[in-house]
Structure 1
């Protein structure tokens, strides 16, 4: 007799799933909240946007007109680096045309600036580095002293120091 699963039980795939697919399922609700039907416009922005807007701006959200059944296109809000707002406002139709050409239909009717600033590479945070003390340095040197090849010994010593300097969690 088969065991019945509740509606809330997660569906098992019984196979390996690429990380991008698994993350996509997790991120889709957040993208939908920002007005995006999928993550394509955000993940493919460097190939969608005309230069230099692929480097100085990033999609923030899509706002669809309310109450209109046959609304053609949404308003795309972009986060931009300081100083590029005027250029984006001026080239809004060109950016919208580029997005629409990528998707093959009128997705974006107009482009506006978001109040949120854009900071490129904001995900890459600088990690704090702890200096190693004399006892750790001695431990590393004792560990590699039996290695005969001098180049390999120095490389292992450098690796040990780098590992000891990593931020401890």
Structure 2
């Protein structure tokens, strides 16, 4: 009887993966449906575009010209959702935003940026930091005693901050 062979090669991860790399791989199929070759424009938007457009403009779709219409280097049309408060400023700064995107990628990616007709839905940014209670003097002394042997001041301060955060959770 013939054994069933696994057709998918087993991938070894020889290094630690960051959460952002894993998130990119997870949203990549969704990004490709919207015309983005990869999810980098979506995930790095806040780093690419200058303030205040990093939070008030959200990329929506990337449309490439049809092969018959291409003359030389033709970029894509980027459709974005814009916060109505920044709509006028956005229309004046589209060339600057287009230049920032093209510089980031190192090639002529975006030829034109146009606002979407979809309503702008701002990203919810909740304060997800846990509430910390003040440490008792006894707990503070125990934490200091644990970190006495560390000579590097920066490392000691970072570990002290971590210890206060862990011991001070509610």
Report the TM range for the smaller structure's normalisation: 0.5 to 0.7
Of 109, 112, 115, 1:113 maps to 115
TM-score normalised to the size of structure 1?
0.62
Give 3-state SS (helix, strand or coil) of 2:26's partner. Answer: helix
Alignment partner of 2:112: what SS? strand
What's the CA shift for 1:36?
1.0
Shift of 1:47: 2.4
CA 1:124 to 1:36, structure 2 compared with 1: closer, same or farther past 3 Å? farther
> In the alignment, is the contact (CA less than 8 A) between 2:24 and 2:40 conserved in 1?
no
Q: How far apart in 2 are the matches of 1:66 and 1:76?
A: 15
* 1:118-156, Cα deviation, whole Å (9 max, x unpaired): 403x26488xxxxxxxxxxxxxxxxxxxxxx7754xx99
Structure 1 counterpart SS, 2:84 = coil
d(CA) in 1 for partners of 2:32 and 2:60? 12
TM-score (norm 2): 0.62
Alignment of 1:1-150 (within 5 A): 4-6=5-7, 11-15=9-13, 17-18=16-17, 19-68=19-68, 70=70, 72-114=74-116, 115-120=118-123, 122=124, 124=126
In structure 2, relative to structure 1, the CA distance for the partners of 1:15 and 1:63 (3 Å cut) is closer
Give the aligned CA root-mean-square deviation in angstroms.
3.3
Bigger Rg, structure 1 or 2: 1
Task: Extract unaligned runs of 5+ from structure 1.
Answer: 127-148, 163-169
Question: Partners in 2 of 1:75 and 1:32 — Cα distance?
Answer: 15
